[in-house]
Amino acid sequence: MAQDVRIRPQVYKDPRPAEQFDSYHTRVRDHPPEWIYEVVRIVTVWTALLLFRLRGYGAENVPNGPVIIAPNHASFMDHFFAGAFVRRHIQFMAKSQMFGRHVMSWVYSHGGVFPVRRGYADEEAFKTAFAVLRRGGAIGMYVEGGRSRSGQMSDQAKAGIGRLALVSGAPVVPVAILGSHQVRNWKRLRFPKVVVRYGRPVRFEQTDDPSRELQQAAADEILRRIREMHAELELAGARHAARAARDAVVAQRAAHVTEP
């Protein structure tokens, strides 16, 4: 008899005080990712390549210097999928519930991950993100905020990524990830094929104090670009998504070469 799979409800508000996360922000602001980043990268990338047949296209679109990597979000593995084909150390904002009195908190903070308190306007998270960008680092931020459980992308972007892009002036690389919402099926020994496509970077005019409307407009434009790439992968289907991504990147390169 078929049974519904129980999915744990997401916790949207962290009751702990903001001061509890100060040490994590201080470390990330003062130190780039340490050796543990490469250790985790090696383990997770090989796992993704072997089990999820991970493929990525367009990684050359990620420039040097300060940059914001903006993937869609459907799995806890998206951090690793988005960074698998990029030699940059991508420092992600992660929900504060991931930080606490356990060894993984050490791995996260020493690997460059920093918390954002869910359910609050967390100014400390933005201060940390701006600090990373000022030193020429790469920030990873999900344009949809929380992750989708269905694989369907959100219709609404979170304005925060628009604020980060406008105030910093850093380019944003939209990233479409297909198949990651099925990663949780590994418990049933089912391993979906995952495809990652990196889009052309977009830069918004730098603005010190952008209005909420301007922040939302920038975020919506980033989401539009991700949705467009994701839709192309979905249309191709899981079996042919890698070929569709490769063909799109090849066409993009050819168009760039012929530009006057």
What confidence tens digit (pLDDT) does each residue in 232-260 have? 999 998 888 889 999 998 998 888 766 65
pLDDT digits (tens, 9 = 90+) for 148-173: 666 677 778 899 999 999 999 999 99
- Cα–Cα distance measured from residue 64 to residue 84, given in angstroms and rounded to the nearest whole number: 16
- The reply to whether the predicted model has a pTM over 0.85 is yes
Question: Do 164 and 68 contact (CB within 8 A), yes or no?
Answer: yes
Q: Examine the pLDDT at 10 and tell me if it is beyond 80.
A: no
Q: Quick check: 16 and 96 in contact, CB under 8 A?
A: yes
Q: How far is CA 49 from the centre of its chain?
A: 18
Instruction: Flag whether 3 is in a domain.
Output: no
Question: Is 7 part of any domain?
Answer: no
Q: Rounded to an integer, what distance in angstroms lies between the CA atom of residue 28 and that of residue 156?
A: 29
239 within some domain = yes
CA distance to 68, 132, 252, per residue, from 75 (Å): 19, 24, 28
Query: In this structure, what CATH number is given to the domain that contains residue 126?
Result: 3.40.1130.10
**Is residue 8 included in any domain, yes or no?**
no
In a domain, residue 248? The reply is yes
Residue 110 lies in a domain: yes
Does residue 100 contact residue 94 with C-beta atoms inside 8 Å? no
Look at residue 186 in the predicted model and tell me its pLDDT: 62
**Cβ(192)–Cβ(186) below 8 Å:** no
Which amino acid would we find at residue 55?
R
Any domain includes 11: no
Q: How many Cα atoms are found within 13 Å in the side-chain-facing hemisphere of 76?
A: 8
Give residue 118's domain range. Answer: 19-258
Is there a domain that residue 12 lies in? no
pLDDT per position as a tens digit, 60-95: 999 999 999 999 987 888 889 999 999 999 999 988
Number of domains in the chain: 1
Residues 96 and 18: their CA atoms lie apart, in Å, by 10
Q: Give 169: exposed, middle or buried? Use CB within 10 Å, 0-12, 13-18, 19+.
A: middle
Residue 226 φ/ψ, nearest 5 degrees: -65, -45
Question: Could you count the other beta carbons within 10 Å of the beta carbon of residue 203?
Answer: 13
Residue 1 is predicted with a pLDDT of: 41
**What is the DSSP-derived secondary structure letter of residue 6?**
P
Contact 175, 72 (CB under 8 A): yes
